[in-house]
Amino acid sequence: MIELFVSAFVTLFVIIDPPGCAPIFASLTKGALPPQRRSMAIRSVLIAAGILLFFGLFGEDLLRQLGVSLAAFRIAGGIMLFLIALEMVFEKRTERRENRANEISATPEIDDISVFPMAIPMIAGPGSIASVMLLMARSDGLEESFVVTAALVGVLLLTMLALLAAGPLMRLIGHKMEAMITRLLGVILAALAAQFVIDGIAVSFAIKA
């Protein structure tokens, strides 16, 4: 169970990337008062949590209705996570997030950024949704599903803390340290993504055999 928790926690931490969300949130809420900033941080995480839990609990049934096997979803999800890992290693993901933040901040009528772009797609994006569904699909029984859910809750709590402490956190970490951490996490994610693909292929061959 500890191994499952660590695996789920690391996967979700790398994908959601709480330290990477902090500078985006800080730039988007630059003109907001502290109570407004706290409210948006909490609301962003709660909305993202609802979305991720929904797909974690009902995503497998949705796939079944669409006629998609879990093995196929593991392979597709693993490939998608691998592409995200490559973007992290080569700093493309951070650049895309910053461009999106600039586009939003350049639109004066958008004040509340808790739903878009923070909750969706920065926290509950395609990568995190696919990761939650993959981890839940790999869980065997209610106990393992609870472990994965606990890992998700842990990462979301860290994300909330990172958003609440976005200003001081950025001064502490700095851009160079953030870039180094992002690249390191990208390498770890690439290995986890490869394992998802291997698991999917192994299950497919086992079913055919």
Average pLDDT over residues 15-44: 86
Q: Which residue in 82, 78, 16 sits closest to 48, CA to CA?
A: 16
How does residue 138 score in pLDDT terms, banded at 50, 70 and 90?
Answer: confident
The torsion angles phi and psi of 140, rounded to 5 degrees, stand at: -110, 95
- Hunting for tokens 């929904």 — which residue is that? 54
Paired tokens of 146:
């609870």
List pLDDT tens digits, range 111-122: 678 988 889 878
Determine the straight-line distance between the first and last CA of the chain, rounded to whole angstroms. Answer: 30
Task: Flag whether the pTM goes above 0.85.
Answer: no
